[in-house]
Structure 1
Amino acid sequence: MKKLFASLFLLLCAGAACAQNALSDDAFRQRVHGFVDQWHADAARADSVYFDKMAPAGVYIGTDKSEIWTREEFRAWAKPFFDRKKAWAFTAIKRNVYFSPDKKYAWFDEQLNTQMGICQASGVIHHSADGFQIEHYQLSLAVPNPLMDKFTKAIAEFEAQPVPAK
């Protein structure tokens, strides 16, 4: 009888541990969602804390092929927007969050409602005792497949034009 109770106790404890781990994973995932949502909200308010949420060696890749910036390069590029207190407003429509078993890294993909229409993005976040920091973020336009031929033709025509003198 003692063995039966001991076995049941261990089984219940194992089940509780699994449930707790699942809740812990869900809670972590929700913290990532909250962090990224707040990061986007910081940009919409043109709050410079936006850049502090990026790692010092973090990279931001924008929609133009020339837009590959370190955090400080991105801060300098965005300064005119932040100075006028109106930057960009990205609102997540859908986001998938994944993370390493030790929860030191999380990565996500998201669809966003933006002033450019629907965009897609992906990012990598480092989680430390100091909190979350974005290590890498890439924003891209979501081009519907039926428009791709026209879109790529327009890009090719644009890139074939002579570069204006500075």
Structure 2
Amino acid sequence: MKKIFSIFILSFFIFSNPLSAQKKGFYENVQKKNINKLLDDFNTFAANADFDRYFDCFAEESTFIGTDATEVWNKKEFKDWAKHYFDKKTTWNFKSLKRNIHFSKDGNYGWFDEILDTQMKICRGSGVVEKINGKWKIRQYVLSVTVPNEVVDEVTKIKAPIEDAMIQKLK
């Protein structure tokens, strides 16, 4: 009986790591689904001009970084800026085409990047999410306009007069 118990204990330790890895994979898949839902809902709430539900996706202490170099807002500042668009129902309609999600070792933070179909054509969304009271919230969101390499020189010429002044100011 002692021998059987010893074999059982040894087997448990040998096979526990694959089970842990399997459980971790299952947990990550569930969390990825939750974050995908958060980000998909986030886009849907904007498209539907649902101000309260859109901003509920953000953590209280969060940052939104927009496409213009001057657009770095905390949640309240972003709400103030966006309110008139939501009130007039002239919001944005983004659709995720591809999304990658990764996690911190403790599973409380995730970060993502995605390719978006928008009225500005292809944009990139990226950010950090945090699990707060069991619910994923956006801690930081960065929206970037993509520039195909084939036209980057032309785009640079167009934006240079505007951004040269800003560069001088920031120096």
Give the TM-score taking structure 2 as reference length: 0.85
State the shift of 1:76 in Å: 1.4
Counterparts of 1:89 and 1:101 in 2: how far apart (Å)? 33
State the shift of 1:6 in Å: 4.0
Q: Counterparts of 1:67-82 in structure 2 under 5 Å?
A: 67-82=71-86
Alignment CA distance shift 1:12-1:80 (3 Å): same
Give the TM-score taking structure 1 as reference length: 0.87
State the shift of 1:159 in Å: 4.8
Determine whether 1:107 maps to 2:111.
Answer: yes
Contact 1:45 1:86 in 2 (8 A): no
Q: Which residue of 1 aligns with 2:44?
A: 41
* Residue of structure 2 aligned with 1:84, choices 80, 88, 92: 88
Counterparts of 2:160 and 2:67 in 1: how far apart (Å)? 16
Tell me the amino acid that sits aligned with residue 34 of structure 2: R
SS in 1 for 2:92: coil
Alignment CA distance shift 1:78-1:27 (3 Å): same
Alignment CA distance shift 1:130-1:22 (3 Å): closer
Counterparts of 2:12 and 2:71 in 1: how far apart (Å)? 58
Q: Which residue of 1 aligns with 2:169?
A: none
State the shift of 1:56 in Å: 2.2
Q: Which residue of 2 aligns with 1:93?
A: 97
Counterparts of 2:128 and 2:17 in 1: how far apart (Å)? 32
Q: Which residue of 2 aligns with 1:155?
A: 159
Structure 1 portions without partners, runs of 5+: 162-166
Identity %: 37
Q: Which residue of 1 aligns with 2:136?
A: 132
Counterparts of 1:159 and 1:23 in 2: how far apart (Å)? 47
Contact 1:59 1:136 in 2 (8 A): yes
Q: Which residue of 1 aligns with 2:54?
A: 50
* Residue of structure 2 aligned with 1:19, choices 18, 22, 41: 22
Counterparts of 2:20 and 2:61 in 1: how far apart (Å)? 37
1:65-114 per-position Cα deviation (integer Å, ceiling 9, x unaligned): 12111111111111121012241111111111111122211111111011
Determine whether 1:32 maps to 2:35.
Answer: yes
The structure in which a higher percent of residues are helix is: 2
Contact 1:93 1:113 in 2 (8 A): yes
- How many pairs align? 161
State the shift of 1:29 in Å: 1.6
Counterparts of 2:9 and 2:128 in 1: how far apart (Å)? 44
Counterparts of 1:158 and 1:101 in 2: how far apart (Å)? 42
Contact 2:130 2:138 in 1 (8 A): yes
